[in-house]
Amino acid sequence: MTGTAHLVFAVLALLALVLIINLVRLQALKAKYSVLWLTVGALLAVAAAVPGVLDWVADQVGVAYQPALFLLLGFGFLLLLAMHFSYELSRLETRVRTLAEELALLHHELDDQQD
């Protein structure tokens, strides 16, 4: 990586980290997600700040082309995240449905009492 590109990525990673920390600080992210994103932010920051670290990791696991490792990890992470969200969505939908049913039943009970 050239010096300029390195700087740009370091700044971007720093911005991402600041954004994540800010969201966590404002409690806009649930605690369980904050741990996840803080980890990601920290990893990004380390990768951007220490130029040789990605090369070193790639070397250790036997990947010749370092960007491939980065993309593979990123893709795997996003895939897991999407699956996790699908799971959470399914659970939420079940709960919302049950709540809607409860609401309709309570509403009906209320109407009955007012008559």
Partner 1 sequence: MRTAVVMPAFNEAEALPGVLAELAEAVPDHEVIVVDDGSSDGTAGVAAAAGVTCLRLPFNLGIGGALRLGFRYAADEGFDRAYQFDADGQHDPSQIATLLAGLEHADMVVGTRFTTGDAGDPGSGEGAYRVGRSRNLAMGVLRWLVRRATGHRFTDTSSGFRALRRPVLELFATDYPVEYMDSVEALLLAVRHGFTVIEVPVRMRERRGGRPSNRNLRLAYHFVRVLIVLTAGLGRRNRLGVVV
We find the least distance from the C-beta atom of residue 102 to partner 1, in angstroms, to be 10
* Shortest reach from residue 106's CB to partner 1, in Å: 10
Number of residues that bind partner 1 (CB under 8 A): 8
Site mask for partner 1 (CB under 8 A), range 74-113, x = bound: -----------------------x--xx-xxx-xx-----
Instruction: Give 7 or 105: the residue with its C-beta nearer to partner 1.
Output: 105
- Written in H, E and C, the secondary structure of the chain is CCHHHHHHHHHHHHHHHHHHHHHHHCCCCCHHHHHHHHHHHHHHHHHHHCCCHHHHHHHHHCCCCHHHHHHHHHHHHHHHHHHHHHHHHHHHHHHHHHHHHHHHHHHHHHHHHHC
Interface contacts to partner 1, rule CB under 8 A: 97, 100-101, 103-105, 107-108
